[in-house]
Structure 1
Amino acid sequence: MIALSGMTRVALKNPKEIEALRKANALVAQTFVVLEPYVKPGVTLVELDRLAEEFIRSHGAEPAYKGYAPHGHTPFPGTICASVNEVICHGIPDGRRLREGDIIGVDIGVKLGGFYGDACYTYTVGNVRPDVRKLVDTTRDCLNAALETVKAGSRLGDIGHAIQSTAEPRGFSVVREYTGHGVGRRLHEEPTVLHYGKPGTGLKLQAGMVFTVEPMINLGKPDTRLLGDGWTVVTADGKPSAQFEHTIVVTPAGCEILSA
């Protein structure tokens, strides 16, 4: 079944497809739990990447990001995106060692049984500065506030407005260029989910829609810069950024978080 809004075509998932997506996203959630004890000073990003890949493959799944090459990109080399401090998203897991006071956004995608799971979690490494702790907590609050707006009949603009109205009054900024997206048999489907917007505008949500909400919130200004590797996105002012992401399915009364 397809929901139409203008030229946007959004596939509504049936119960069998939702169950498959539930399993894929549960594996993503389990991978975060496996990584958590290793997110500490001295650990390299590539070590975290290896742990994630071994766990994902041991459960009969494939890393969704490894080798991913959309729109002529060079293939992404890692299982996880590892975004430390000023890196907003798509950080490449390399030999960099985590240090006390860092934050690291770990984005994980898997393919299991032909369906995708996708989520992001920002870990704190030891003791972080109070303003950075507030950034991380606010970003989590932005995601939760956005998900509270979701139900059949609400609008995509409600999601973006909830994020903006949580982050901006606390002095933080919302990244505009990178968005949430539909998830199913492909990693990126319709709809595009903006993290800013006006309430009551945008695509009307219907039960069975599956998509991510993944606000990226900056300590400083919202401006971004793409590094020469073609993947890594950093804050233009060099200040920290945090991200949390869930894959959800819209229900008549709200939403189910598939990657909880």
Structure 2
Amino acid sequence: LQQAVQVMGIEWHEDRFERLETRGLGVRVTTGQGRALDAVLLVGADGARSPVRLAAGIEHHYTPYGDMGVVAHLDIGLPHQNRACQWFTGDSVFALLPMPDTADGPQASLVWSMPEGRAREWQALDADAQQAFFAAHARAITGDRLGPLRLRTRPQGFPLTLERSAMVAPGVALVGDAAHRVHPLAGQGLNLGLGDVHDLLDVLRTREPQRALGDPRVLARYRRRRAEPVWAMSLVTDGLHRLFGASNAPTAWARNQGMRLVDNLPFLKRCLIRAAVGD
């Protein structure tokens, strides 16, 4: 991103957001180094704990899952063939995402959603104990489908939540995790954020000539445009989380039969993939 900004000749400030003032239909941002930056529109793309969202007073709803997403970079024993793999264990979701090979061999990114207490215990171990814990659990979960798995980096965790916001305020629009968060089990958080950017740009590009970029009526269109896809993905990911966390036999049986049905129907699988990427 920084390289692209430099190529396009866009001014880059190596600084931190400090506070926000609304000025007419625009805003003034004060940075940590005391600089004042005026803009007709501020786009908050500053993550789940968004200081921009807080400073703009944008309504925000937060529901914790009691789980933590633990991420790490892995060496894997067998080629991943550019496929992502995911295992549901009842109280956790174990996902391996393909990465480019290195001189050390095939690589993958780990996203392991697990109860928060267990995640913190794992993170508190020394490096050797972390490796031993991971190797034992990874083999039991994956059945060595990708061969032996080894941590290249220490596991880092973040609490998992379901979040939504009003997304806009005069002169301010939120995108990505600043605007909403969903459970990572379907890997759709990034796609939702890219959809935010696409729809925001489209709304701004097609606004009436007399309306400023930060006009509340223009930004309200962006909020309405994103309401349905964000709600739908939140409903799906939260439902899947509850479904795969269910332990009673009838629900587990129905869930597993449904997954087998999808796996055996390529047309249905392609439809689900197209829906996931917003095609």
TM-score class, shorter: under 0.3
Which structure would you say has the larger Rg? 2
Instruction: Report 1 or 2 for greater relative contact order, CA contacts < 8 Å, sequence distance ≥ 6.
Output: 1
Higher helix content, 1 or 2: 2
